[in-house]
Chain A
Amino acid sequence: MNTPDRKSFSNQTDSASDLSAAEATLRLIASLPAPEGLEDRIQAGLLAAPRKARILAWPAALTPSSGWVRAAAAATIVFVVAGGGWGVYSRVQQPPTAKVIVLPPHGAAQGGFSSAGAMRTPQTLNGPVLAHPAAAQPAGSKVSGKLPAPAAPKPLRHGQPAAANKTRVPLVR
């Protein structure tokens, strides 16, 4: 009669035997001998494989390690760069520079009115006006019995107010 303990023990032993059998299978597969001629086939495959790409061998005098080749290469590079720069520079047409500076008319630019060449003169102060010019007249002039002729009117000047050209009328109190 199988008790539960004995049953579980038998299960454990069965599992252990299964596991060991499984590991034996893996070991068996892992220890399989290689097929005959494997190494020869691999060697032949390696020999037939394309080698690393080769660049054409330069002669010894032209190897990059020789100094004069380096100098020549450097000079060539400098020549090509400088020549290219000069070629670009000589082909580019520069725009003609203006010799006369023309300024736009000042008034037109502002859009306002022009002064038409008028010059402003400051307004002069009115001088003192005599209240009784007759009293200042000398006695000898009374003989003629005429009033002295008024002074000729001054020519009009720009900027002078019109009131300045009028004859002064003495204030009569």
Chain B
Amino acid sequence: MSASQAVFSGWMEIPDSAVDDNARQYAEEETLAALVSQYAATLYRVAFSVLRNPADAEDAVQEAFMRVLRHRETLDEVRDQRVWLIRIVWNIVLDRKRRSKTRPETDDVSELARVLPSAGLSAEQIASAAQHHAHVLGCVEKLPAKEREVLMLSAFEELNSVEIASVLQISESSVRSRLFRARNLMAGLLDHTRSLR
């Protein structure tokens, strides 16, 4: 085979690099699908705890996985994928929350009553519970941002203090001190509103 024939035979061949690319892309898609099925619910809960709107929370989860898709080459370098994903969605929801400051807060009592579990409760009890939850969430909103974030993340039983520190990129001792301050402030706010009633 002459040199020119060898050169032009390359037009008909499937190069090894293309095969590798396809295999790698398939593996990345499989990894991404596994991440979605494993962590989508967790990410949704994180997003909903901040946004308190099911549609917004779902959009935030979708955006988080889109970011993962864009940077899927770096998936192998991630040590703890769960914390990494929570941090992504946490940043997304905080950004959305910041941008939606001009809009009215979505802590509508009826929205909470619709979302919260209501099995075995009467309509009056459901309305009362929703009102209570809305009041608590209103007090949480009055907390300073740092304390509020730690308090909300501490409500997730899936996250310990080390993982919260990793999500917020602070030290574990800062997490504990902020949580202590948040609880004190929260108790003061709840006591104040109770004395007003």
Contacts and interface: CB of A to CB of B under 8 A. Distances in A.
A34 interface: yes
A15 interface: yes
Nearest to B47: A34
Interface of A: 11, 14-16, 18-19, 21-23, 25-35, 38-39, 41-43, 45-46, 49, 52, 57, 59-63
Interface string B140-171: 10000000000110111100000000000000
A29 B47 CA distance: 11
A46 B191 contact: no
Given A21-B132, A32-B45, A57 B18 contact: yes
28 contacts: A14-B191, A16-B187, A18-B187, A22-B139, A26-B140, A26-B154, A27-B157, A28-B116, A28-B117, A29-B52, A30-B45, A31-B45, A31-B157, A33-B41, A34-B40, A34-B41, A35-B58, A38-B40, A38-B41, A39-B40, A39-B41, A41-B58, A42-B36, A46-B32, A52-B70, A60-B13, A61-B11, A63-B15
B190 A26 contact: no
A30 B156 contact: yes
Interface in B25-84: 32-33, 36-37, 40-41, 44-46, 48-49, 52, 54, 58, 61-62, 65-66, 69-70
Given A27-B157, A32-B116, 6 more contacts: A28-B133, A29-B137, A34-B44, A38-B44, A46-B65, A61-B7
B194 A29 contact: no
B183 interface: yes
B23 interface: no
Contacts of A39: 36-37, 40-41
Contacts of B116: 28-29, 32
B186 interface: yes
B90 to A, nearest CB: 13
